[in-house]
Amino acid sequence: MVISSSHIYSKGNLDAVKTNTSNRINLKKFPQNGQIQIYQSSYRGSYTSIIRDSLRNAALGRKVLLIQFMKGGVNQGVDHAEKLCGNLTWVRSSHSFDQYNSEVIENNKTLKKSIYESTIELWNFCKRELQSGENDQIILDEIFLAIDMKIIDKDDLISTLENRFISGDVILTGTDIPKDFLLMANQITELRS
């Protein structure tokens, strides 16, 4: 798998440069953003290599945020993120579609509402993190499924990606990827079985 270097910068990179005029130091900011990488596959659950690489990057000192939109469980969610290798924050939804049979979800409006709300909470957390500039890499696992299920608005994701501030890469995974995102991506990788 190819992981883009955080040293590859686009026009949107943010560096602080000291300029000395008349013994006065000014800081001038230059926008800085890493690449948008998309990993697509014909089936779900094929992204273990991305998780493996995120662990390796964290062990090498990069600050990594891994968000899994369709996986979750008890004592998970934004308030119960797991920390691994000191640098990897792994967040799953507090209630997710993968925890329950789809028929059970459809027949239980309270459960369905809870799942949607926890996914929206996770998305709002992601938006803040994409703007914070505190992470070297952010992975949004199965975000396209959340868009396909109409939980996350496609235009909201596009706008958030366009206005992100992260020096490293944003990795998006999914099966059915809208063309708008393929056109935004700096790298597209198709995973095959």
Whether 37 contacts 170, CB under 8 Å: yes
Domain assignment present for residue 114? The answer is yes
Q: What range defines the domain where residue 38 resides? A: 34-191
Rounded to whole angstroms, the Cα distance separating 149 from 35 reads 26
Domain assignment present for residue 147? The answer is yes
User: Number of folded domains in the chain?
Assistant: 1
Domain assignment present for residue 78? The answer is yes
141-169, pLDDT tens digit by residue? Answer: 989 988 988 889 999 999 999 988 877 89
Domain assignment present for residue 16? The answer is no
- Kindly list the distances between the CA atom of residue 78 and the CA atoms of 84, 93, 121, 158, in Å, as whole numbers in the listed order: 15, 7, 8, 22
CATH of the domain at 44: 3.40.50.300
pTM of the model: 0.76
Rounded to whole angstroms, the Cα distance separating 170 from 33 reads 9
3-state DSSP call for residue 121? helix
65-109, pLDDT tens digit by residue? Answer: 999 888 776 678 888 888 888 899 999 888 777 667 778 778 888
Domain assignment present for residue 23? The answer is no
Enter the DSSP assignment of 78.
G
Domain assignment present for residue 56? The answer is yes
Domain assignment present for residue 2? The answer is no
